[in-house]
Chains A and B, each alone.
Chain A
Amino acid sequence: RKEVEQDPGPFNVPEGATVAFNCTYSNSASQSFFWYRQDCRKEPKLLMSVYSSGNEDGRFTAQLNRASQYISLLIRDSKLSDSATYLCVVNSRGANFGNEKLTFGTGTRLTIIP
Chain B
Amino acid sequence: DGGITQSPKYLFRKEGQNVTLSCEQNLNHDAMYWYRQDPGQGLRLIYYSQIVNDFQKGDIAEGYSVSREKKESFPLTVTSAQKNPTAFYLCASTPIANYGYTFGSGTRLTVV
CA distance A42 to B6 in the complex (A): 12
A88-111 vs B: 1/0 string, CB under 8 Å?
Answer: 010100100011111011110000
Tell me if A101 and B98 are in contact (CB < 8 A): no
* Number of chain B interface residues as a range: 20 to 34
* A31 is an interface residue with CB less than 8 A from chain B: yes
* B53 is an interface residue with CB less than 8 A from chain A: no
Q: Which residues of B come within 8 Å of A, CB atoms?
A: 33, 35, 40-43, 45, 48, 50, 56, 58, 88, 90, 97-106
Return the chain B residue nearest A88 by Cβ: B42
Question: Given the complex, which residues of A lie within 8 Å of B101, measured CB to CB?
Answer: 44, 46, 102
Tell me if A43 and B103 are in contact (CB < 8 A): yes
* A49 is an interface residue with CB less than 8 A from chain B: yes
* A45 is an interface residue with CB less than 8 A from chain B: yes
How many residue pairs at the A-B interface have CB separations less than 8 Å?
50
Question: Given the complex, which residues of A lie within 8 Å of B104, measured CB to CB?
Answer: 43
A74 CB, min distance to chain B CBs, angstroms:
19
Determine chain A's interface SS by DSSP, over half rule.
Answer: strand
With known contacts A43-B103, A99-B50, A101-B48, A106–B98 Cβ distance under 8 A: no
* A71 is an interface residue with CB less than 8 A from chain B: no
A88 CB, min distance to chain B CBs, angstroms:
9
Question: Given the complex, which residues of A lie within 8 Å of B33, measured CB to CB?
Answer: 101-102
Tell me if A89 and B100 are in contact (CB < 8 A): yes
Question: Given the complex, which residues of B lie within 8 Å of A107, measured CB to CB?
Answer: 42
CA distance A99 to B57 in the complex (A): 11
Question: Given the complex, which residues of A lie within 8 Å of B98, measured CB to CB?
Answer: 31-32, 91, 100
